[in-house]
Amino acid sequence: MEHVARIRRFNRYYTGKLGLLNEHYQRASISLTEARVLYELAQHTGTRKQDRRVEGETRAEAEDRRRIQRRAGAEVQGLTSKELAEQLQLDPGYLSRILKRFEERSLIVRAPSDRDKRQAKLHLSMYGREVFRSLDKAASDEVAEQLELLFPEQQDELVAAMATVERLLESAPRGPIVLRPHTSGDLGWMVESQARMYSAAYKWGRGLEAVAARIVADFLDNFKAGREACWIAERDGQRLGAVMVVERTEQVAQLRLLAVLPAARGAGVGSLLVKQCERFARQSGYEKVYLWTQTELTSARKIYQAAGYRLAEEGSHTAFGMEVAGESWVLDL
């Protein structure tokens, strides 16, 4: 929640700094959303054919446009209102009202689509392009004024930070969550991720890392095919969490080292991993699944409860180099 609060605080600061919440963007009689629509249309304004000019376009403007199109290797075709709504993620009805105001002010023109004569392609009129250029210049000038307050190296730092924000948000995983058997390097990652997460959250530090390392070493040294397994949860090739099942006794399997990265929590990763352990234990002929966890790990305990585990024992331990409250849970198969 601290990260959420900090990001929201930055959003409030940034929008206020650039005046993005003002009723009229760049002191013009136009809202921020309308300016965004103008910008998108400016990037797609063109003609149905290169030898036909947009209404109001001068010969010189037409030649400039054709030269840019030839250099890009493709003709700019304009956008339908449906394409524009999808691109900007705007409600079609809301966008329709904006476009109606644009037409009343002669900012846009419509031309039949080459592909579907029932659809009209939207372009900025010559006047619309003038309005856009004025807004675009005002926005650039305002940013330039902000940058002038910083030393050159500070400007570089600011731009680099913005690039980092964009890269991280664009690289956020969006594909389906998949479970796969572990491969080389995964078990080392499990130890590292557990040590990082629990050291930061609970100060368990080297003690927990030593316990996790011993569990992994025992798994590798004494692996029993068909009776033991480890799975990695990932999305778009990025690891999100992991768990392993080992043989405790002939009748009892033990779930070990369940962990989900903080960025992946709330997506059901932990439940998927626990369910996979249950399926494997049933198929392998076990009668019960046992696990040992810490009382402070409330999210994990909720997953176990939802999966049908029952609390079998409570007590404190010093396995992490400090006194910690622990719990044993059992699932009857």
Q: Are residues 143 and 194 in the same domain?
A: no
At residue 70, the pLDDT reads 47
Q: Are residues 192 and 306 in the same domain?
A: yes
Q: Is the pLDDT of residue 254 over 90?
A: yes
Q: Are residues 88 and 198 in the same domain?
A: no
- Could you tell me the two tokens for 291? 């696990």
Number of domains in the chain: 2
Q: What is the mean pLDDT of residues 132-151?
A: 85
Choosing from 170, 197, 215, the residue where a domain stops is 170
Q: Are residues 141 and 104 in the same domain?
A: yes
Q: Are residues 191 and 279 in the same domain?
A: yes
Give the model confidence (pLDDT) of 104-132 as tens digits. 888 888 877 666 666 788 888 888 888 88
Q: What is the mean pLDDT of residues 297-322?
A: 87
Q: Are residues 154 and 41 in the same domain?
A: yes
Q: Tell me the β-bridge partners of 112.
A: 120
pLDDT class of 89 with cuts at 50, 70, 90: confident
Looking at residue 296, which CATH number applies to its domain? 3.40.630.30
SS3 sequence of the chain:
CHHHHHHHHHHHHHHHHCCCCCCCHHHCCCCHHHHHHHHHHHHHCCCCCCCCCCCCCCHHHHHHHHHHHHHHCCCCCCECHHHHHHHHCCCHHHHHHHHHHHHHCCCEEEEECCCCCCCEEEEECHHHHHHHHHHHHHHHHHHHHHHHCCCHHHHHHHHHHHHHHHHHHHCCCCCCCEEEECCCCHHHHHHHHHHHHHHHHHCCHHHHHHHHHHHHHHHHHCCCECCEEEEEEEECCEEEEEEEEEECCCCEEEEEEEEECHHHCCCCHHHHHHHHHHHHHHHCCCCEEEEEEECCCHHHHHHHHHCCCEEEEEEEECCCCCCEEEEEEEEEC
At residue 124, the pLDDT reads 87
Choosing from 122, 142, 170, the residue where a domain stops is 170
Show the domain range for 87: 2-170
Q: What is the mean pLDDT of residues 166-171?
A: 78
Looking at residue 87, which CATH number applies to its domain? 1.10.10.10
Question: 112, 98 in Cβ contact below 8 A?
Answer: no
Choosing from 103, 135, 170, the residue where a domain stops is 170
- Could you tell me the two tokens for 20? 């993005």
Q: Is the pLDDT of residue 302 over 50?
A: yes
Q: Are residues 146 and 44 in the same domain?
A: yes
Give the model confidence (pLDDT) of 177-216 as tens digits. 999 999 999 999 999 998 888 888 888 878 889 999 999 9
This prediction's pTM: 0.55
Please report, as a single letter, which amino acid is at residue 160.
Answer: A
SS3 sequence of 140-181:
HHHHHHHHHCCCHHHHHHHHHHHHHHHHHHHCCCCCCCEEEE
Q: Are residues 124 and 146 in the same domain?
A: yes
Q: Are residues 110 and 232 in the same domain?
A: no
Q: Are residues 31 and 71 in the same domain?
A: yes
% of the chain surpassing 70 pLDDT = 83
Q: Are residues 260 and 310 in the same domain?
A: yes
Q: Are residues 82 and 185 in the same domain?
A: no
